[in-house]
A and B are shown apart, each in its own frame.
Chain A
């Protein structure tokens, strides 16, 4: 009888406090899950292992004084999205290099901290691990030398890296991060640049339909295949062989060859390109041949963003290459018409080439959480 009474009391107690208990249990569970979630993602440490297909080759470019580490890449990623690196905290690297646009900004020219426009189009950032010369005129010979320039350019981020270092110094989270990467809390412009370069080297795109096709994992459509054939072939009008002659400059598994050409955009160019650096007239309007990887996402096109669509780009190469003394030889006398001066592709061929160019879009690259702003990431990393 006593036992029965006790059980009755206990059941009644539970009944009356059920709501409160449930809330408490829920609270404990949520707290535990968030603690676990937080501590499950400490910043990874140690050398960074680059992963890429064998057909990309190993001619990679990492300076001996800036080896890539996982913690360095994490810091670089934080800094890539850090507006404190610009005057008035207005811009970060990501302002002109947005992941969803394959690290371009969709504009012909980008607006800097002084509200003035840049003189050239924002370049896509992809597979930089293999690049050796940077900018449209190739003037920087490494990512470290490149990254410092837009930061201090008054029409871009407009702030000396020494000031950036000072600003980061007042942000405590960076003390621990710099210590993790460099062994002490000293924040310098050089260390900022090096970390950003480390992050940029990890921006590897190797999962487009074209990569999958090369790995025998994707069967292209008829248009894609025909476009690929045209892309890869040189025209031989006398033999009736049609081609678009693209691989001279855009060939290979990475769709990138480090070349610099005058591609006949103007007879008298406003922007003299590499000639501005060398003073040699054969370098007039010679610019870097950009990667075609993710090309469908990186409009507008050319160093001055003059073409809004791939159709306009194809029209240029097919019908409107302008002659000048510095025009690269690859554009001279290459035609699908006997004795023709222009390449002359027909509308169906242009459509097929564009179908192939769309195969170069890597949708996993532009959505990869490893490349996004870590502050917005669902899985925040604990220091």
Chain B
């Protein structure tokens, strides 16, 4: 009987675990990088967290937490800081969502030597995981008037030269 209960417990746990896993998205960092990355929620949670407050479409302020994009890019060896000069100033990142939506940021928009504005890869809103439909990760751009670049369901960040 005990063994049967264990079996039920582990089966249910397995189903739950698989459900959680299968809904999670990861983010690939590729292109002009020294080290390509694939970040899962657990990887991002271990990196320094920053909070950005901005309005959502409900018109109310929300507190988003996540990792500053430049921190992730530096981990991938992207030319930021003292290396963001010369031809590297023609580099940009293309952020892609699982629904095909794409937005771009010039590297200089992300570098703290150029701007104090924080752009983060958020994974929580008001201390909770992002709502269904918004994916595991969402870009939050501090103080940008339109939310169009606060791209949801982020699955890829590609660094490239403008040609």
Interfacial residues, chain A to chain B (CB-CB below 8 A): 133, 138, 257-261, 278-283, 286, 325, 327-329, 332
Residues B25 and A133 in contact, CB atoms below 8 Å apart: no
Q: How far is the CA of A98 from the CA of B140 in the complex (A)?
A: 45
Interface of A is mostly: loop
Among B27-35, B40-48, B93-101, which stretch is in contact with chain A?
B93-101
- Residues A280 and B98 in contact in the complex (CB < 8 Å), given A325-B23, A329-B152: yes
Interfacial residues, chain B to chain A (CB-CB below 8 A): 19, 22-25, 98-101, 131-135, 152-153
5 intermolecular pairs with C-beta atoms under 8 Å apart: A260-B98, A280-B23, A325-B23, A328-B133, A329-B133
Chain B, residue nearest A133 (CB):
B100
Residues A279 and B99 in contact, CB atoms below 8 Å apart: no
Chain A, residue nearest B130 (CB):
A329
Q: Which residues of chain A are within 8 angstroms of B133 by Cβ–Cβ distance?
A: 327-329, 332
What is the distance, in angstroms, from A338's C-beta to the closest C-beta of chain B? 13
Residues A325 and B132 in contact, CB atoms below 8 Å apart: yes
Residues B100 and A282 in contact, CB atoms below 8 Å apart: no
Q: Which residues of chain A are within 8 angstroms of B134 by Cβ–Cβ distance?
A: 329
Residues B100 and A258 in contact, CB atoms below 8 Å apart: yes
Residues B135 and A282 in contact, CB atoms below 8 Å apart: yes
Q: How far is the CA of A55 from the CA of B101 in the complex (A)?
A: 20
Q: How far is the CA of A279 from the CA of B19 in the complex (A)?
A: 11
Chain A, residue nearest B136 (CB):
A282
What is the distance, in angstroms, from A84's C-beta to the closest C-beta of chain B? 36
Q: Which of A258, A280, A282 has the most B CB atoms < 10 Å from its CB? A: A282
B99 touches which of A278, A281, A328, A332 (Cβ 8 Å): A328
Q: Which residues of chain A are within 8 angstroms of B99 by Cβ–Cβ distance?
A: 259-261, 286, 328
What is the distance, in angstroms, from B138's C-beta to the closest C-beta of chain A? 10
| Apart from A260-B98, A261-B99, A282-B25, 20 more pairs, CB < 8 Å | A133-B100, A257-B100, A259-B99, A259-B100, A259-B101, A280-B23, A280-B98, A281-B19, A281-B22, A282-B23, A282-B135, A282-B153, A283-B98, A286-B99, A325-B132, A327-B133, A328-B99, A328-B133, A329-B131, A329-B152
